[in-house]
Structure 1
Amino acid sequence: MACGLLGIILNALLFAGKLFAGMLSGSVAVTADAFNNLSDAGSSIVSMLGFKLAGQKADSYHPFGHGRMEYVAGLIVAMLIVLMGAELAQSGLEKIAEPQQVTFTALTAVILSASIAVKLFMFAYNRVIGSRIGSVSMLAASTDSISDTAATAVVLISAVVSHFTGIQIDGWCGTAVGLFIIYAGCRAAYDTVSPLLGQRPSGEFVENVKKTVLAHREIEGVHDIVVHNYGPECVMVTLHAEVPAEGDILALHDAVDAAERDLEETLGCIATIHMDPVVNDADTRRLREETAEAVKRIDQRITIHDFRAADCSGGKRLSFDALVPFGMEKSDEELTAMIRDSAAAETGCEIDVKVEKGYV
């Protein structure tokens, strides 16, 4: 809340100062930049509201909390940035069509220079705090601040150039500033929409999940990791943990429970682990290695898991899942047939394969 209040106060002061400078100089770029700061104050209000809504406790209708409201707030901020950029670009185009003399004063230079310094501070402040607490809306605000810094710098340069050369580039600079702000807003929108849609977790987070689970010696491997993000404070992880089929079921269950607790304590996530018993005798290992080699010949990126070898009337029946990357040219049906044929030719066994995509 304090972060949002600081943003409101600073942007309101910048708006007042730039509006005065714009009226004094007659510069459409300076005036437009002032209203850009006014929209930033509104964005800070939206961010504060988003924080408040996101901080509500979970209830019967929203058992995972309201953390995604912060992403919604970040998206609204991004939309406001784009809207203001469009307004700035339009004002600049109008000034290009009907150029007007701009009066440059030392006071204008001081106000714009002070604005740049304040916006650089706000960029650093929002970036550091936003990264520390994982706040998408604060990171969006930091993007907005650095955009404002560039915009004000361009406005200041245009005023200086116009004053000393007589060349009226105020409209061109205003248009350039507007387009730059539109671009920054679109980038901020992408950063907030992505977690709402369900983006892939970071590789570092996935590796930490694997490391935490595999720290338990009873667990031999992990696969089918799925990460759901319900906001910065609520992340749910589900995965399959491979355990020896011949092990003590109670001891293995205790190990899985301990791994779930470790994930919650070390990574702050809600964890649900499915215990997946695997047979690891010499014959099964050989068949798995042969199958993996056969699959790799199709594409080096394909991996297998949930491998089972069972006796059947014709010999052995191998069942497994094949994890294929996104973006492959072949359809899942075509890949299934290719994997089945390749594995059957390599092992001489009947093959039952399920092709699936990875979520991490």
Structure 2
Amino acid sequence: MISLFARIFIKNRKDYMDTKVREQYGILCSAFGIFLNVMLFAAKLSGALLTNSVAFLADAFNNLSDAASSLVSVIGFKLSGKKPDADHPFGHGRLEYISGLIVSFLILLMGIELFKSSVRAIVHPEKVEGSIFSVSIMVAAILVKLYMYLYNHGIAKKIKSAAMEAVAKDSFGDMISTSVVILSVVAGRFTDFPVDGIGGLIVAILIFKGGIESCKETIDPLLGLPPEKEFVDEIEKETLKFEAIVGIHDLVVHDYGPGRMMISLHAEVPGDKDIFALHEIIDCAELELSKKFNCSVVMHMDPIDVKNPRLHELKEIVREESHKIDQRCSAHDIRIVPGEKQTNLIFDIVRPRDCCCSEDELCEKLRAAIKERASDVNCVITVDVPFI
């Protein structure tokens, strides 16, 4: 159904990273979610009134809260699609994360309210009147929620939306919750034990757990996440396609919301080439990467000595000795400054955050190891943190 609607209403529907296309997918899926959740609420409310089940009623109002969450998502996608302005030069993309966070808070609030009503049902239990009709409603609801999970999860992966993934996970949690309600309604016919209240309690806990997970998934990109290794590798691969660029380092990815990203990096180029020709190559690389990744790209040109055999020898020593300490260590900006009594070897070392030794210990070990192999060298080391 969503695929059919997408063909009808979304132009260039397969251009998933286009800001307008993302917005239209978000609004379409959320609007359809509102419709389905309102229908489920009406069906479950009638079933809850017939069965006198608090767990059934809790599940019904959970669908009503899901409809409200979808409405928030519609607003979030619409606002996040606004173009940059004077007050927000990087756009409004993070509003999508904020809308996802609001959805998560609504889920948590519903979980708390259902927990309270379930406790009351355990303390003051009432007879549950289960029926084939009520169970049929819940089985149908599970199938609808499965469909909602599949389309939300599928579209979330395509447009890389944390807010939509939060909605998908909520739908998956609803499937489990409704299954618990079925068990409690059926079991309630055969025992006076307050299984209905216990079922409602389990539903509330599952909803609350889903809310906590959704909160984390939307807060993380707001706080800032490192880029994925596959993305970093792709940036490096595309940059090194330009013949004059022999390496990159100090890559930083700034995420201002889906489709609003800024990349900065240092590109290593031969120091003996014409500076104007190199500058033109860097400009071309910036433009190509901007188009490839749909973002802003800034490159700093780092000239390096590529024909000095002594420098190549020292680079290999640095690489070998740093790997002995930690295989993940890497060095860049390696250069030598000859002097009368000693040669200064200046470089940056990238230290993994969970490295076996501290920054000072890493520098001391490297200095000692390199000094042992090249006695005339004095190391000047700057410690960097990895960009992934």
Partner amino acid, structure 2, of 1:297? K
Secondary structure of 1:271's counterpart equals: strand
Residue of structure 1 equivalent to 2:352? 325
- C-alpha distance in 1, partners of 2:371/2:88? 48
Deviations 1:125-174 (A, max 9, x none): 11111211122111111011111111011101221222255654111111
Q: Verify: 1:88 aligned to 2:114, yes or no.
A: yes
Q: Verify: 1:339 aligned to 2:349, yes or no.
A: no
Secondary structure of 1:350's counterpart equals: strand
Could you tell me how far 1:329 is from its partner in structure 2?
5.0
Alignment check: 8 A CA contact 1:308 1:318 kept? yes
- Of the candidates 60, 82, 85, which is equivalent to residue 59 of structure 1? 85
Q: Verify: 1:352 aligned to 2:377, yes or no.
A: no
Alignment check: 8 A CA contact 1:79 1:189 kept? yes
Q: Verify: 1:316 aligned to 2:343, yes or no.
A: yes
Could you tell me how far 1:254 is from its partner in structure 2?
1.6
Give the % identical residues: 42
Alignment check: 8 A CA contact 2:290 2:297 kept? yes
Secondary structure of 1:297's counterpart equals: helix
Residue of structure 2 equivalent to 1:10? 36
Q: Verify: 1:46 aligned to 2:72, yes or no.
A: yes
Partner amino acid, structure 2, of 1:257? D
Secondary structure of 1:227's counterpart equals: strand
- C-alpha distance in 2, partners of 1:154/1:293? 58
Alignment check: 8 A CA contact 1:242 1:277 kept? yes
- C-alpha distance in 1, partners of 2:325/2:373? 13
Partner amino acid, structure 1, of 2:274? D
Could you tell me how far 1:284 is from its partner in structure 2?
0.6
Partner amino acid, structure 1, of 2:385? K
In structure 1, runs of 5+ residues without a counterpart are: none
Alignment check: 8 A CA contact 1:295 1:343 kept? no
Residue of structure 1 equivalent to 2:280? 254
Alignment check: 8 A CA contact 1:222 1:239 kept? yes
Q: Verify: 1:236 aligned to 2:262, yes or no.
A: yes
Q: How many residue pairs are counted as aligned between the two chains?
A: 360
Deviations 1:29-53 (A, max 9, x none): 0001111111111101111111111
- C-alpha distance in 1, partners of 2:325/2:73? 49
Residue of structure 1 equivalent to 2:53? 27
Deviations 1:220-251 (A, max 9, x none): 01111111111111111111111111112122
Residue of structure 2 equivalent to 1:298? 325
- Of the candidates 261, 264, 268, which is equivalent to residue 294 of structure 2? 268
- C-alpha distance in 2, partners of 1:295/1:347? 15
User: After alignment, is 274-283 or 62-71 more displaced?
Assistant: 274-283
- C-alpha distance in 2, partners of 1:16/1:175? 22
Could you tell me how far 1:206 is from its partner in structure 2?
0.9
Q: How does 1:109-148 map to 2 (within 5 A)?
A: 109-148=135-174
- C-alpha distance in 2, partners of 1:342/1:309? 17
- C-alpha distance in 1, partners of 2:266/2:372? 29
What TM-score does the superposition give when structure 1 sets the normalisation length?
0.96
Alignment check: 8 A CA contact 2:334 2:348 kept? yes
User: After alignment, is 228-237 or 155-164 more displaced?
Assistant: 155-164
Secondary structure of 1:231's counterpart equals: coil
Alignment check: 8 A CA contact 1:18 1:30 kept? yes
Alignment check: 8 A CA contact 2:263 2:298 kept? yes
Alignment check: 8 A CA contact 2:253 2:263 kept? yes
Partner amino acid, structure 2, of 1:88? L
- C-alpha distance in 2, partners of 1:128/1:99? 41
Partner amino acid, structure 2, of 1:309? I
Partner amino acid, structure 1, of 2:383? V
Partner amino acid, structure 2, of 1:294? E
Q: Verify: 1:183 aligned to 2:183, yes or no.
A: no
Secondary structure of 1:238's counterpart equals: strand
What TM-score does the superposition give when structure 2 sets the normalisation length?
0.89
Q: How does 1:202-213 map to 2 (within 5 A)?
A: 202-213=228-239
Secondary structure of 2:268's counterpart equals: strand
- C-alpha distance in 2, partners of 1:343/1:75? 50
